[in-house]
Amino acid sequence: MADAALARRAIRLLDLTDLSDQADEAGLEALCARALLPPGPVAAICIWPRFVAQARRRLAGTEVRVATVVNFPSGEEPLPQVAEAIEAALHARADEIDLVMPWRAFLAGEPEPARAMIERARALCDGRALLKVILETGEYPELAQVRAAAELALASGADFIKTSTGKTARSATPEAVRCMLEVIAGAGRPVGLKPSGGIRSLADAALYLGLSDAIMGPDWATPQSFRFGASGLHQVLCDAWAGEGGGRASGPY
């Protein structure tokens, strides 16, 4: 696929993200404006919960969805607090909830906290918002654990499974994404995938889209089934679409 066509395809699958410590209202306005630039719009913006209401007002009447994060980035908040945060985000009219599952407990051999949290989130989001569950796969020593976490998330009601918060040293990898796609392929119901963190180049986008095309079929990856979680990638893709730039983001996720 030519660079421009690939860039256009990837932009429409992008969750344009600002989860930096410096995020503010002015930055949100700029993010919303970027989300609508040609050759977009992007699929969604992903922002801190405190900005959801402002984003809804700014993006009213557009195709861009508003996603926010809960139990983020640690994955260690107590269930009542997480449930309260989800309810608040839904009240502010978030379209999508990106939930970090309690992955440390899961890796320690305690899957029940993750199961309980995802099931509670599913009950709250049902009919109101898309539930995207973050596994934090870069922290898993073995691919078998990635597979088990993905299977648990799907069994507990996730609409999407997402690799990473982007806040750890190691984020999305092709190996983890392949494993997650294989779990999705055997799910028996529609489930989406969101590679996230460390995706900074046109080649990265091509790699992950190529995996999804090979495993799920060339028509599978749409905004309803596939997202990229990234911030700096947007400008790289815009440059590639316009025939400019070096194909790689210069800043951190």
Q: How confident is the model at residue 244, as a pLDDT?
A: 78
Please give the single-letter amino acid code of residue 245: G
pLDDT digits (tens, 9 = 90+) for 159-201: 999 999 999 999 999 999 999 999 999 999 999 999 999 999 9
Over residues 51-59, the mean pLDDT reads 98
Q: Would the pLDDT of 43 be above 70?
A: yes
98 counts as catalytic: yes
1: pLDDT strictly greater than 90 = no
Residue type, 124: L
Tokens of 172: 């999305």
Q: Is the pLDDT of residue 252 over 80?
A: no
Run of H or E residues at 160:
strand 160-162
Q: Count helices and strands (H / E) in the chain.
A: 10, 8
Sheet holding 65-70, edge to edge: 192-194, 160-162, 130-134, 96-100, 65-70, 44-47, 14-18, 228-230
Give the residue-averaged pLDDT of 151-163: 98
Q: What is the pLDDT of residue 240?
A: 96
pLDDT in the model for residue 212: 98
Active-site option among 159, 162, 204, 239 = 162
pLDDT, one tens digit per residue, over 222-238 is 999 999 999 889 999 99
- Assess whether 18 carries a catalytic annotation: no
pLDDT, tens only, 98-113: 999 999 999 999 999 9
What domains can you pick out in the chain, each with its CATH number?
A: 3-242 (3.20.20.70)
| Token duo for residue 215 | 């495993």
Full-model pTM = 0.95
pLDDT band at 248 (very low <50, low <70, confident <90, very high): low
pLDDT at 216: 98
Catalytic residue among 95, 132, 159, 194: 194
Coarse DSSP helix, strand, coil percentages of the chain, rounded to the nearest 5 percent:
45, 15, 40
Cβ burial of 21 (10 Å; 0-12, 13-18, 19+) is exposed
| Catalytic residue (one of 15, 95, 98, 204) | 98
Whether 194 is catalytic is yes
